[in-house]
Amino acid sequence: MTPYAPYPLGRPRRLRFDDFTRRMVREHQVTPDDFIYPVFLHEGSNRRQAVASMPGVERLSIDLLLPVAERCLELGVPCIDLFPAIDAERKDVDGSEALNPDGLVPRAIQALKKEFPELGVMTDVALDPYTSHGQDGVIDESGYILNDTTVEILTRMAVLHAQAGADIISPSDMMDGRILSMRDALEEEGLVNTRLMAYSAKYASAFYGPFREAVGSAASLGKSNKKNYQMDPANGDEALREVALDIAEGADMVMVKPGLPYLDIVWRVKEAFRMPTFAYQVSGEYAMLKAAAQNGWIDHDAVMMESLLAFKRAGADGILTYSALEAAEWLRQHG
């Protein structure tokens, strides 16, 4: 026996008849609370530089970052995520600039927390912006990433960011065991309320190209790839194992990256673990939307909001998106 009334007793279109009914029965919605806004930093003063492959996105000096942070608060976006573009002369094979307490990211954290203590500050922990070879860790003679050596550096980097005032540390490196190492180090330093959002299922995706331009790692990486530490796009079960390990090691939140091409993984992770689950609408996704809109092929705002809603429908608790401010402004105007 069907639990639903058959036609004509049941007419599903009744619930789509008018706007107020559609709103009443809507299952999911997007709000500014769902957004984390990724921003790119570079050195200097009153200095901004457009990222050519990401229309509307710029690298900003710290003084120009502060008005962006204020805008986040005005629009109700709760958190900002920092990604540095490091000058080439500061890069080396071991990414040593990542451990500079007076480096770009620690200074940006301090400036943000001084001016806007109520804004959440999240930092990316990986070595690719800092290494001369563009990989996320220390390499051996063959170019292979040394897991444990890299984890040691990343752990020190995480503590440095937390001491500077970062609220959330977000390791994006995909090294084995880094969450446990960071959690132990943070506990030892008394930084017990520093949250860890693990890039638990980060795929070796072709959608990252514009991001690598933005942080300046594309030229360093050259024709190399990250397939021996980021996940194979063909694998789903492996993502659940990776998430399970990070949760067991002390992650407070987990992330799937990229976003829209991996909504099945978002769904599976949320269903399996019921942990705070985030998705990253990555640079390639953003760039495609912008390019199609600039060519008049799609309605930018409609597609932007529909894509963000898809994350929520798939089970994401939050979304890292370069469209955060645009979407928050749209929500303010349209309710």
DSSP, collapsed to helix, strand or coil, labels residue 166 as coil
Tell me how many degrees the CA angle 206-228-238 measures, rounded to the nearest 5: 85
Q: In angstroms, rounded to a whole number, what is the distance separating the alpha carbons of residues 332 and 330?
A: 5
Question: Looking at 257, 270, 290, 312, which residue is catalytic?
Answer: 257
CA–CA distance, 302 with 310 (Å, rounded to integer): 12
Minimal CA–CA distance to 202: which of 251, 255, 267?
255
Angstrom distance (rounded) from CA 303 to CA 230: 29
Amino acid letter for position 285: E
Is 257 labeled as catalytic in the residue annotation?
A: yes
Tokens of 294: 């600039």
N-terminal to C-terminal alpha carbon distance within the chain? 41
Would residue 226 show up in a list of annotated catalytic residues for this protein?
A: no
d(Cα 255, Cα 265) in Å, to the nearest integer? 10
Helices (H), 5-143: 19-25, 62-75, 104-115
How is 288-313 classified by DSSP, letter by letter?
A: HHHHHHHTTSS-HHHHHHHHHHHHHH
CA distance 318 to 259: 11
Candidate list 91, 202, 270, 290, residue with the active-site label: 202
User: Rounded to an integer, what is the distance from CA 185 to the centroid of its chain?
Assistant: 23
Residue type, 136: D
**Beta bridge partners of residue 196, listed in sequence order:** 169
Q: How far apart are CA 47 and CA 41, in angstroms?
A: 10
Sign of torsion over alpha carbons 329, 73, 167, 64: positive
Q: Which two tokens stand for residue 44?
A: 């200097």
What percent helix, strand, coil does the chain show, rounded to 5?
A: 45, 15, 35
Active site residues: 202, 257
